[in-house]
Amino acid sequence: MFLEILKAILIGIVQGITEWLPVSSTGHMILFESFCSFAEKFMSDYFYKNLFLIVIQLGSILAVVVLFFGKLNPFSPKKSPDQKKGTWVLWSKVLVSALPAAVVGLLLDDWLEAHVFVDSVVSYVIAATLLIYGVLFIVIERAKNKSKNLPKVQDVADISYKTAFFIGMFQVLSLIPGTSRSGSTIIGAMLLGVSRSAAAEFSFFLALPVMLGASGLKTVKYLANGAVATTSELILLAVAFVVSFIVSLAAIRFLMDFVRRHSFEAFGWYRIILAIVVFLWVLL
């Protein structure tokens, strides 16, 4: 049991860090599973791949709610009527941005599970997407450094509905493992003229409806199969949830502080190095 708790802590840490940094949480989770199997005697493979992932994602979501509660709460008595209206407008833009991934995700969820998230394919896909988006981050950041023009959008409140929708279109790409939900939305937002900090912040907000929807879909599938968690599994769920929440708090704060002073180029190089490691691991 101690070993399983340790594994739950480790994977909660991986989830908490990689969910918010543009390095692909799904890719890291799949790779981590390959090195550290959770299919032990009291944890079924189905339980791990569904309920466990749902719970640690909810821990990450809770971190966003806690950190940005004031900004996202339209009922705050501290806000003026105009500020409350602005919060509702922000939520409406987030929902518009979430629509593309929600529609495509519902249509392709089973197909992706059957054709992409399979052992013989998924590692190659992860390596390729890590490499492609790593190069994109470097190219985009270097192009921005050469340009003297400031981004047109400096704050999330200034993101238009049109821009929000197209950011959502970029998010559809994150359905492919290794892409990174935050990575695809941040790249998309920057290409659309949004500043680094505003792009990162909007990516956090966009995670709420998207991740809640994905978790809800997995929960329905889990319950439909009649799966029931044991006491040992519930303990692991609680441990992973708390760890994911705490680490997510730190990761979000780190990224928001990082992008105020640095570019995303470092994450691009990290993705490229990790892609090379994955390719070599698969080949050897």
pLDDT for 82 equals 93
Q: How confident is the model at residue 44 (pLDDT cuts 50, 70, 90)?
A: very low
The domain spans of the chain are 2-283
The residue ranking higher by pLDDT, 214 or 103, is 103
pLDDT for 26 equals 74
DSSP state of 192: T
pLDDT for 222 equals 66
Q: What percent of the chain has pLDDT over 70?
A: 88
Q: How confident is the model at residue 7 (pLDDT cuts 50, 70, 90)?
A: confident
Cβ contact 213:61 at 8 Å:
no
pLDDT at residue 43 greater than cutoff 90: no
The one-letter code for the residue type at 140 is: I
pLDDT for 111 equals 85
pLDDT at residue 10 greater than cutoff 80: yes
Of 58-62, 99-103, 118-122, 127-131, least confident by mean pLDDT is 118-122
pLDDT for 49 equals 58
Residues in the chain: 284
Residue by residue, DSSP assigns 75-126 as T-TTS-HHHHHHHHHHHHHHHHHHHHHHHHHHHHHHHHHHHTSSHHHHHHHH
The pLDDT tens digits of the residues spanning 168-195 come to: 999 999 888 888 888 999 999 999 999 9
pLDDT for 121 equals 82
The pLDDT tens digits of the residues spanning 121-141 come to: 888 888 999 999 999 999 999
Mean pLDDT of 163-172: 95
Mean pLDDT of 214-238: 72
Cβ contact 188:167 at 8 Å:
yes
Mean pLDDT of 246-265: 92
Q: What angle do CA 248, 6, 257 make, to 5 degrees?
A: 20
Q: What is the mean pLDDT of the chain?
A: 85
Q: Return d(Cα 181, Cα 251) in angstroms, integer.
A: 15
**H or E element that contains 30:** helix 25-35
pLDDT for 36 equals 62
Q: Return d(Cα 231, Cα 57) in angstroms, integer.
A: 20
